[in-house]
Structure formats: C-alpha cells, structure tokens
A = this chain, B = another copy of it.
Amino acid sequence: MADLTRARAEAHDNADPLRALRGRFVLEGEGDNRIYLDGNSLGRLPREAASRLAERTAEWGERLVTGWPDWIELPTRVGDLLAEGVLGARPGEVLVCDSTTVNLYKLAHAALAARPDRRAVVADPDDFPTDRYVLEGVCAARGVELRWEAPGGPIASDVALVALSHVSYRSGALADMAAITEAAHRSGALALWDVSHSAGAVPVELEATGADLAVGCTYKYLNAGPGSPAFLYVRSPLLEELRSPIQGWFGRRDQFRMGPRYEPADGIERFHAGTPSILGLAAVEAGVALVAEAGIERLREKSVALTELIVDLHDARLAPLGFELGTPRDPTRRGSHVALRHADAWRITRALIERARVIPDFRGPDSVRLGVPPLYTRFVDVWDAVDRLARLLEAGEHLEFGAELSRVT
C-alpha cells in the first residue's frame, strides 16, 4: 500500500518535472481555496493564450483584410503542430476547423461514401452523446445500419466504419487504438477515432496505430477556451479518396479564383467548410504549443501517477463510504480522469461545488468525475479534494441537496 499522507503528495509535487508549467496558467479565483478538477471538460486559460488572443485582435484592427494571406495558413500550420506534438500524425494530415460535431459529420459521411458496398457502421453505445447523435443522423441519411457494439469485438465483413472514442467520457477507460483499428482493417472497415478526451493527456499514436480518421476538440486538455475550434485528421493515403459532404469555399482548390463548380483542394484543406476563426486559432496555437513543450510522454507519466493517487485514496477513504471505482484499475487502460460511482452522485457533486469548493462534474447516472490534466493539476489538489469529499460524506452534507437533476452542465 502506498504512503497516502498529504506530506507524500506534497513531496510528489516538489519532485514534479512539470511543476513550473502550472505558473503558465491563469490561476485567479484560486485564492479562496477552489480546487479545479474539471479541466477534462474545460481546460484552464494559458497566459500565452490570453496574450496571443489580444495580439491577434490588435492585428485584426491594424492589418484588416491584408492579414488574410498570413491568417489563411493557420488551420494547417496549427494542424501540423498538433500532428507532430500531440497526435502522432504527419504534417498535412491535421486541420483545425469547425467543431468536433461538424468534423465527425464530415468524416463519417466521407468514409461511408468511400465504402458504398458496405452497409453498416459500428459504434459504442456508451460513446459521448454528440458522437452517437451524429452517427445516428449520418447512418439514417445514407440508409446504413448503425450497430451499437461495445468496443473490442470482431468486426463483421459488411461494416464500412468503426467509430469510437479513444478515452470514454464517462468511465475514463482508454481503448486499445491499435488493436481495434487492426480488427477494423482485418474486415476491410475504416476506423474513426474521437480523441477529444485523450489529446493532450494521453499519447495518441494516429500513425503508429494505423488509424484512418480522427476528430477531437481543443478546449479540454489542449486549453484553447470554451467552444474553441476543433480538429480533424485524415491519413494521407485516404486524402485523395475522401470528400467532404459540406462543399465550402475554403475547401475548394484555388479558392480565390472563385471558379464555377466545386472541386476539392488536394490536401487536408478539402475538409474545410467556411471561413476559419482566426481568433479561435490563436488560442489553439498557444494551447497546443504548451502541451508540445511539456512533452506528451511526461504528461502521460504524471497523469498516470495522479489517477493512481485517486484510485489509492478511493480504496482507502471512499470505498468505505459507499463509492465504487468506475474507471479501470489498470493504468494502461485509463485516460486522465476517474469516475467515482455513488448512488447519490448528483447531490454529492452539488455539495462538493457549493460547500467544499471542489469542482468536479457529474455524469449520469451515478458518477462524480475527477479530471486531472497533468499540465496544472497538483498531487495535493487530488489529496485535498478526496479529503474534502470524504469529510463531506461523513458529515452527510450532501443530503441537504435535492436529488432531482436540475442543471446545465
């Protein structure tokens, strides 16, 4: 059994090679002892993102339309940074644009159009809502069967596309990208990964695993702000074959010739739709650069140690209070958040926020999610949060809150 004292957690922080990076984030609001464990939903504000946003805003004001020749390269330039520093992909394979939802829609349609003889999609019934809803709509529109199957099984020979998340938003389970992609390929299907809950915290080896397609958001572990532009990845050999269903002018070859009919651009730009958000890209660039600077292997190492501490503290202090671990115990099979299951999870989440100043989030039906983005989460944050959680349960404070769900996020 590990040493579970607070002093030990402090010692971990003192030895943390990423320790200095916490100071690169805005930490206002922490003065009153708030502990933020929801960076897996919305990451913190990097100081560099705030300054890049202000600089780009000033650039808009000064350069006006003459800024475009530089700005227009940002979606692919920041995409290349993401490819190399975060996603294990090659230059020219990643584009920063639109939302995860719209990107998933584009790639799912493109994949099905490229495999017209196959009439089924396999998706995870526990996947993040927008993934499920988008696939449902795409399959209905194309008259393709949508099969809800837990990840990891064999793939039938009529399947065009296997689509799932790398890290489960609810349980925090980390899927075996290489094995599942290989199973898809064995049956001739394409594999599409949503890496929203892994990019920036877990190595995402798109090239090494053979992944065909991927989408993801930048406002979680990449810290680019609420509703920041998302990204998409298409493996180079597929680029020529795949076309976006949304034929926008930014995806057209020789866009500014404004020619008569649509022809897709040669590269990853063909998956552009409309005008990209230049201010949004400024924050993405800053957020991605910070993750790349830290190094994804070092981030992963710290993330595993942080989730391991939650698991150990759960066993010692929370299990006796009726909690059950909702996340795999094997650290190689989990991402950077941990789900603590409890019949009163909703009231406990509210009490944690309102009484204990710990900010986790709730995921139905019964999980309190603790996210520990390794760039800025300290071991003492984890220790203190679990300590406050245990004391709150022991005092029965959560019972003062209604059990009825009544919330926005």
Contact = CB atoms under 8 A, between A and B. Distances in A.
Interface of A: 25-26, 28-29, 36, 38-39, 41-42, 44-45, 49-50, 53-54, 57-58, 60-69, 71-72, 98-102, 105, 125, 128-130, 132-134, 136-137, 141, 217, 219, 225-230, 245-250, 252, 255-262, 273-281, 283, 353, 359, 361, 363-364, 405, 407-409
Nearest to A254: B405
Nearest to A137: B247
A259 B40 CA distance: 21
A328 B137 CA distance: 44
> How many copies of this chain are found per oligomer?
2
Interface centre among A63, A130, A359 (most CB of B within 10 A): A130
23 contacts: A25-B61, A26-B61, A29-B64, A42-B64, A42-B65, A45-B60, A50-B57, A53-B53, A54-B57, A72-B409, A98-B99, A99-B248, A101-B249, A101-B273, A101-B274, A128-B249, A129-B258, A137-B245, A217-B275, A225-B278, A228-B279, A256-B407, A279-B283
Contact of A65 (B63, B279, B409): B409
Contacts of A252: 129, 133
Of A26, A36, A71, A248, the most chain B CB neighbours within 10 A belong to: A248
B57 A45 contact: yes
B64 A275 contact: no
A350 B137 CA distance: 47
Given A225-B278, A227-B274, 13 more contacts: A29-B61, A29-B64, A44-B64, A53-B57, A68-B408, A72-B409, A101-B248, A129-B252, A133-B248, A226-B277, A226-B279, A256-B407, A279-B280
